[in-house]
């Protein structure tokens, strides 16, 4: 049967795709609460599972660990530790900052999950996993995750 199979080329097939689409999505009640607190009060809120007690940030409606519905909000300080990062050195039209800049996952104090965000006020050659960070909010906020302008090193 193997003798009837077509020969497979060793060269990969590359297909170009150009796509651009703008659309609006509802953030739902949980996302709206989270983004409203960022915008109106400069607060980062997590949500706690009533079964396993894990705190998620950004929040979600159901716990991905035990599938319980979550509704207990927890205010976080926003401070945390850098658990992973990368340095962005190329420009893309949808990126919110001009390169080079760093993007990292911040494990916030009091949360069981990390939150990805932009890092600022950092020497790109001196970023280290484990460094302490805190949020810097934009002056004009609109109800977006980008209301947190970036996370900077904290003392």
- Pairing mode of beta strands 72-76, 55-56: unpaired
Q: Is residue 140 part of a domain?
A: yes
Question: pTM for the whole thing?
Answer: 0.83
Domain of residue 83 covers 26-153
Measured CA to CA, the distance from residue 71 to residue 59 in angstroms comes to 10
Q: Structurally, how many domains does the chain consist of? A: 1
- The tens place of each residue's pLDDT in the chain, 155 residues long, gives 556 766 766 676 666 767 667 777 788 899 999 999 999 999 999 999 999 999 999 999 999 999 999 999 999 999 999 999 999 999 988 888 999 999 999 999 999 999 999 999 999 999 999 999 999 999 999 999 999 999 999 97
Measured CA to CA, the distance from residue 94 to residue 87 in angstroms comes to 16
Of 73, 62, 54, 148, residue with least CA distance to 104: 148
Q: Is residue 88 part of a domain?
A: yes
Measured CA to CA, the distance from residue 41 to residue 60 in angstroms comes to 20
Both tokens of 119, joined, read 């890092």
Q: Is residue 10 part of a domain?
A: no
């Amino acid at each position: 049967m193997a003798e009837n199979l077509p020969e497979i080329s060793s060269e990969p097939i590359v297909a170009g795709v150009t796509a651009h689409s703008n659309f609006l999505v509802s953030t739902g009640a949980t996302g709206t609460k989270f983004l409203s607190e960022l915008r109106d009060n400069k607060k980062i809120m997590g949500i706690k599972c009533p079964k396993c007690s894990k705190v998620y940030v950004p929040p979600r409606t159901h716990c991905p660990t035990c599938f319980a519905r979550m509704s207990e909000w927890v205010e976080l300080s926003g401070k945390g530790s850098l658990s992973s990062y990368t340095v962005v050195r190329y420009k893309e039209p949808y990126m919110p900052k001009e390169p080079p800049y760093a993007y990292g996952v911040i494990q916030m104090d009091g949360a069981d999950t990390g939150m990805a965000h932009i890092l600022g006020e950092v020497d790109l050659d001196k970023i280290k996993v484990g460094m302490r960070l805190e949020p810097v909010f934009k002056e004009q906020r609109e109800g977006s995750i980008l209301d947190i302008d970036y996370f900077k090193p904290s003392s």
